[in-house]
Amino acid sequence: MRHTVTSRHRLSRRTKGVFVGALAAGSIALVTLGFASTGALASNTTPTSAKSLAAPLVHNAHHAKVHRRRDRGFVGLVTGVTSTVLTVQTRTGVTRSVDLSPSTRYLEGVNTIGQSALRAGEFVRIKTHLSSATVVRVLEAKVTGMITNVSGGSVTIANDRGMTRTLVTSSTTAYREAGSTVTAAALRIGELIAARGVPDSDGAVLNAVAIVIARGHFSGTVTAIDGSVVTLRLAGGTTATVNVTASTHYRDAGATTSQSALVDGQRVVVIGTITGTNTMTAEVVIIRKAVQAQSGSSSVTPLAIA
């Protein structure tokens, strides 16, 4: 009886040992698997999660930079406009079209204007979001030159190379000279002026908004010298008369000289006071080197954009 109990006891211990061993082995296996699983998560899941979080941030930062670049907009010449689409030609000659929406803002200077004020020939700066315009700002062009002709509402100016530009004035054109407001009657041949306004569709004519008269400015070639009277041939073949006095200053290549340095055929710039049509009393005569015309050059200078 005792033996039976002992056997059962031993069997019980053996069974327990096997059971405990199995549990221990299972526990070790589970723990091992657990660590392996944790290690796998640590080695794979975490970096993948970081990358997946970082990728949108990088993409969004890049998109923000691109968006900021686009916000600066681009400049173009309006070639067509409808109620929903604005078409322009950029400075590089590329044609671009942008959508117009009820939320698009239109500006001219600091003033808000309506879409109906847009017309072909105007220079505009456009800010966009995606393919739609958010802001369309009308820009003004600026030109400078010497007046070579005044006829009614048309003023022709030329630069030192003889390239010409036509200005169209109206009743709303503003005129200023020496800081004071003047009228169109103050425009005289030989005066140096600066004008700003809106060019026409091909850029050859500027519809002047404002004209500032600087001073008398003749640029041409000496054709005759008779005492105190110097005759010049201006751009376009116009003849001008320059009266020199004892107070007239002469400069050649940056150095002071005298009237005796003047000879026929020289190119000169004369600054002074306009006293009549194509007539000036000289304050300064600047002798310049002859400038040969370039073959194939255009008679129209590019407009500067404000």
What is the mean predicted confidence (pLDDT) over 192-221? 83
Higher pLDDT, 132 or 141: 132
Higher pLDDT, 238 or 229: 229
Confidence of residue 7 (pLDDT cuts 50, 70, 90): very low
**Where does the pLDDT of residue 235 fall: very low under 50, low under 70, confident under 90, or very high at 90 and above?**
confident
Rounded Cα distance between 94 and 88, Å, is 8
pLDDT at 300: 38
CA end-to-end distance (rounded Å), the chain:
118
Nearest residue to 162 via CA among 301, 305, 304: 301
Task: Return the minimum-mean-pLDDT range out of 15-24, 82-91, 185-194.
Answer: 15-24
Q: Which of 33-37, 74-78, 87-91, 109-113 has the lowest mean pLDDT?
A: 33-37
**SS3 call for 260:** helix
Given a cut of 50, whether residue 45 has pLDDT beyond it is no
**Is the separation of the CB atoms in 220 and 181 below 8 Å?**
no
Domains and CATH numbers, the chain: 74-139 (2.40.50.140), 142-292+300-304 (2.40.50.140)
pLDDT grade for 65, boundaries at 50, 70 and 90 = low
Confidence of residue 35 (pLDDT cuts 50, 70, 90): very low
What distance separates the 2 farthest-apart alpha carbons in the chain?
160
Q: Count the alpha carbons within 13 Å of 45 in the hemisphere toward its beta carbon.
A: 6
Distance CA 238, CA 146 (A): 12
* Residues in contact with 191: Cβ distance below 8 Å, sequence separation at least 6, in sequence order: 146, 147, 213, 214, 215, 216, 217, 274
Whole-number Å distance between alpha carbons of 206 and 143: 9
Centre a 10 Å sphere on the Cβ of residue 181 and count the other Cβ atoms it contains: 9
Q: Is the per-residue pLDDT at 108 higher than 60?
A: yes
SS3 113: coil
Q: Which of 252, 245, 257, 235 is nearest to 282 (CA)?
A: 245
Least trusted range by pLDDT, from 91-105, 108-122, 263-277: 108-122
pLDDT for 61? 53
- Greater confidence (192 vs 282) lies with 282
pLDDT of residue 221: 92
Residue with tokens 């400078």: 144
Q: Mean pLDDT score of the chain, rounded to an integer?
A: 76
Q: Which of 38-42, 45-49, 202-206 has the lowest mean pLDDT?
A: 38-42
Residue 15 is encoded by which pair of tokens?
A: 């069974």
Q: Measuring CA to CA, how many Å separate 129 from each of 31, 70, 79, 99, 165?
A: 57, 7, 21, 10, 37
Question: What residues does 298 pair with on adjacent strands?
Answer: none
Determine the pLDDT at residue 90. Answer: 86
pLDDT at 123 over 50: yes
pTM > 0.85: no
Express each pLDDT in 143-192 by its tens digit: 888 888 899 899 999 876 778 889 999 998 999 987 889 999 989 888 88
Compute the distance between CA of residue 285 and CA of residue 281 in angstroms, rounded to an integer. 10
CB distance 306 to 141 below 8 Å: yes
Q: Residue 70 region, left (φ>0) first, then alpha (ψ -120 to 50), else beta?
A: alpha
Share of the chain above pLDDT 90, in %: 35
